[in-house]
Amino acid sequence: MWLREVKRFIRSKSRLVGALGQPLLFLIALGYGLGPVFAKAGQGNYLEFIAPGIIGMTIIFTAIFNGMQVIWDRQFGFLKETMVAPVSRLSIMFGRTLGGATVAATQGTLVLIIAMLAGFHPISLIGIIPAILIMFIIALLFSALGIMVASLLKDMQGFQLIMNFLVMPLFFLSGALFPLNTVPSALLLVARFDPLSYGVDALRYFLIGVATFPLTLDISVLIGVTAIFLALGSYFFSRIEV
């Protein structure tokens, strides 16, 4: 199941181009467009600040919409064929989650490479390795969330509405586009309940050496929330009716 998801992504060239087009637009339009304003405010290079946030955006959009494939397979009968295979539903769920997470983390890595070509300079090339691990944890978290929600729904339009309602607030409140240490305390409190905030913060720590929260807190929250969503996703997927 994991390998099938990865092969499906590799064959879909249009999906790859579409997934990289939006991050590239954000990097260029915001990184260079708002860069002078950010620099005049004494905050440094905006492209370097925003790059980890755009990587996080790429991962969450790709990973969370991995759940759409569950509804798609359910509508066209492929999920029923998968369910009657001599493997447990838990294995199927984990395979789909790992496949979606691998694809999302790969896209995040590609965006990192594009950002470096556009002028982004990590503080250390060695820091890229733990940053990629953080990307995979973020991807695993939101891939599990997408499959969990998809297991509760039968309608593609309903899934898209719910995901858009979740994804946009998660992205914009994560501090991906602005520093959290300068926002009002009420907004910072909301950001603390956003798991993507800790993912973006950990990426910034490894890539540019800047962080709002302690690294141990970032990693602990990411692993803890990932475990919760994997458990919930496994439960609801095991009860899915095909």
pLDDT at 14 over 60: no
Which residue, among 29, 20, 38, 32, has the nearest Cα to 178 in the 3D structure?
38
Confidence of residue 242 (pLDDT cuts 50, 70, 90): low
Counting DSSP H helices and E strands in the chain, the numbers are: 12, 0
pLDDT at 214 over 80: yes
More confidently predicted of 152 and 136? 136
What does pTM read for this prediction? Answer: 0.86
Q: How far is CA 83 from the centre of its chain?
A: 27
More confidently predicted of 88 and 231? 231
Tell me how far apart the alpha carbons of residues 216 and 236 are, in angstroms, rounded to a whole number: 30
Tell me how far apart the alpha carbons of residues 47 and 38 are, in angstroms, rounded to a whole number: 9
> Residue 89's pLDDT is what?
67
Tell me how far apart the alpha carbons of residues 191 and 175 are, in angstroms, rounded to a whole number: 7
> Residue 76's pLDDT is what?
63
What is the Rg, in whole angstroms, of the alpha carbon atoms belonging to the chain? 18
Instruction: Mark 104-127 as b/e (b = at least 16 C-beta within 10 Å).
Output: bbbbbbbbbebbeeeebebeeeeb
Domain that holds residue 161: 2-238
> Residue 50's pLDDT is what?
87
Tell me how far apart the alpha carbons of residues 242 and 233 are, in angstroms, rounded to a whole number: 16
Degrees, nearest 5: CA angle 163-20-64: 20
Mean pLDDT for 96-101 is 85
Tell me how far apart the alpha carbons of residues 128 and 21 are, in angstroms, rounded to a whole number: 22
How many domains, in total, are found in the chain? Answer: 1
Which residue, among 137, 135, 142, has the nearest Cα to 233 in the 3D structure?
142
Each residue of 105-131: pLDDT tens digit? 988 998 998 888 888 888 888 889 999
